[in-house]
Amino acid sequence: MKRRPATRIRRSPSVPRSERRTPGFLFDLDGTLVDSAYEHALTWRNAFRLAGVDAPTWKIHRQVGMSGGLLTRAVLAEIGADLSPEIIDRIKEIHTQEYERMVDEVRPLPGAKELLDHLTRLDVPWMIATSSRATSARRTLAKLGFTSLEVAVTRDDVERAKPDPDLFLAAARRLRVPVTGSMVVGDSVWDIVAARRAGAFGVGLLTGGTSREELEKAGALRVYADPADLLKHLYELGVRSEQPMVEA
């Protein structure tokens, strides 16, 4: 009985280490890295009330994450109100003033600082992209220990904020990484919609009060409880730990 020759298994050539890409991370700020989603909902509610509009807080909360102009118009459409552009601008101004009164109570979300520090140690590029204006963003970033806007793109840097993709496109350009394949981490449906429009992967967090189902329906690749939970599961998004791993 003749023995059949052994079949040689062809292995694909390994990808050179220099060509392997670690995804860039583009983070929303409010409700994603700092626990401020509900503060924004309340301060927008106060701004509407001071302008003579009684808007339910839950309707406002569902729009948090949009640009201020879109949020104002969306809420007014929800309650069937029509205001002049001047009053809408006044509502936005009042919101900024109201938030400045509450920002001292804002705290980083669990694991937020550790997550950013971990990515930095691994040389994983990251940037914060927020719909907030620079003045508000600066005070919020201070809660994470940042004293400048070097780590962030704000509403002042782009023509349109979320759900348009401009913020994340600008953040990717700032990092000099392709937005395609980058991970956009956010807590609202509007973050995920903007991520998809930018061509990036959307990663949801439950820290803004939006449900897992809503985030997944919007297109989130993965959904985690908070930044600490994301830190534990970075390997699911293609980020390896400091420990060397044997290539297959």
Looking at this protein, which amino acid is placed at residue 101?
Answer: R
Q: How many domains does the chain have?
A: 2
Domain closes at, from 87, 105, 123: 105
Active site residue 28: yes
Residue 223: what are its φ and ψ, rounded to 5°?
Answer: -130, 130
Would you say residue 91 has pLDDT above 70? Answer: yes
Specify the 3-state DSSP secondary structure of 59.
helix
Q: How is the chain split among helix, strand and coil, in percent rounded to 5?
A: 50, 10, 40
How many percent of the chain have pLDDT more than 70? 89
Would you say residue 105 has pLDDT above 50? Answer: yes
Same domain as 181, residue 126: yes
Specify the 3-state DSSP secondary structure of 113.
helix
Alpha-carbon distance values, 214 to 116, 188, 211, 233 (Å): 26, 9, 5, 21
For residue 201, the cross-strand partners are 183
CB neighbourhood size of 70 (10 A): 18
Alpha-carbon distance values, 227 to 28, 147, 221, 231 (Å): 12, 21, 16, 6
pLDDT digits (tens, 9 = 90+) for 153-179: 999 999 998 999 999 999 999 999 999
> Smallest Cα–Cα separation from 48: which of 58, 60, 36?
60
Cis peptide before 108 (omega within 30 of 0): no
Same domain as 198, residue 129: yes
Active site residue 104: no
* Angle of CA points 67, 32, 218, to nearest 5°: 70
Determine which one of 30, 164, 187, 226 is catalytic: 30
Assigned domain for 13 exists = no
The DSSP code for 7 is P
Q: Residue 54 sits in which domain range?
A: 38-105
CATH number at residue 43: 1.10.150.240
pLDDT value, residue 9: 40
Across all residues in the chain, what is the average pLDDT?
A: 88
Is 123 buried (19+), middle (13-18) or exposed (0-12) by CB count in 10 A? exposed
Same domain as 122, residue 226: yes
pLDDT digits (tens, 9 = 90+) for 42-90: 999 999 998 888 999 999 998 898 888 888 888 998 888 888 888 888 8
The C-alpha atoms of residue 234 and residue 158 are separated, in whole angstroms, by: 29
Determine which one of 28, 166, 191, 226 is catalytic: 28
The C-alpha atoms of residue 106 and residue 21 are separated, in whole angstroms, by: 35
Same domain as 192, residue 138: yes
